[in-house]
Amino acid sequence: MREITYLEAIREAMTQEMERDDTVFMIGEDIGVYGGAFQVSNGMLEQFGPDRILDTPITELALTGAAVGAALVGMRPIAEIMFMDFTTLASEQLVNQAAKLRFMFGGKATVPMVLRTPAGSGTGAAEHHSQSLENWFVHVPGLKVVMPTTPYDAKGLLISAIRDNNPVLFIEHKLLYKVKGEVPEEMYTIPLGESDVKRKGTDLTIVATSIMVSRALEAAEKLAAEGIEVEVVDPRTLRPLGAETIIQSVKKTGKVLIVHEAVKTGGFGGELAAVIAESEAFGYLDAPIVRLAGREMPVPYNRNLELHTVPQVEDIYNKARDLVKGRI
């Protein structure tokens, strides 16, 4: 099978859905002539024209509101916000309108829209362009939240998100855009709400999200050289959550390490820990549930400081090794 980048997989998903369905269009800042802040939509203006690739002024609130309105009248917009940090400016429309309208109108109105946004650190973009705010939105009933790790997952999940009749926040880590993986040329879907076991193991379960899945897999290979077999589970969608896959993995290994980039306080790891603690997996645990997350501070601009604010491969390796050996 051919290999393409995560970025190309996202572009292909959008292109194929726009070719298939005339109600799908894109709206966002600099997505047209410029091709998007990370060049995800590069070339799409030439293919689909300015009526379906809509450049907007720099106003996240307005462009998100336009997407909500378009979705309400039968369109399927894909809105792009340049950096996840600025979903804060769009929150009124996303949280108070998009997430609630289906409930407020008794199911007679739907909001089939996707809001795509790059998140996370690692590019030296400093405090205002490096945050991981996914759990802010996981908290909101009516929103679906997707965080794919691989190019294959990115394409399949984005097609599913575009076809979904609910608002979906689709979060793309900046450092994943250039990662390559096998992706079919034809259209395919991955259901929202299904976790995926990225690596099988027997000694420890690591549940990781986004870029941390890649780092967990790298740490798992180092641990395998020492005879420690780690199972790595990627939720892929945070809401709805495919909890059963996680629960069964924890029952098998008896130990679990949860890793994410966002700060620990109020992070998604707390929700995962609660899901495990409230399930039948709790009785199978041989050690405490352990979380490894970002430091309790804004992401700094300095490269060395930036690396130390979020978990790296060595951090995951050390924490997992200590957990397996009973040092935690």
d(CA 278, CA 78) in angstroms, rounded, equals 36
Residue 294 CA from chain centroid, whole number = 16
Residue whose C-alpha is closest to residue 143's, from 163, 120, 114, 172: 114
d(CA 265, CA 192) in angstroms, rounded, equals 26
Q: Which residues have a catalytic role annotated?
A: 129
Q: Is the dihedral of CA 106, 112, 114, 115 positive or negative?
A: negative
Query: Hey, how many other C-beta atoms are within 10 angstroms of the C-beta on 124?
Result: 13
Q: Residue 155 in contact with residue 13, Cβ under 8 Å?
A: yes
DSSP H or E stretch at residue 91: helix 87-93
DSSP code of 292? Answer: E
Pairing verdict, β 230-234 and 114-119: unpaired
Q: Count the helix, strand and coil residues of the chain and give each as a percent rounded to the nearest 5.
A: 40, 20, 40
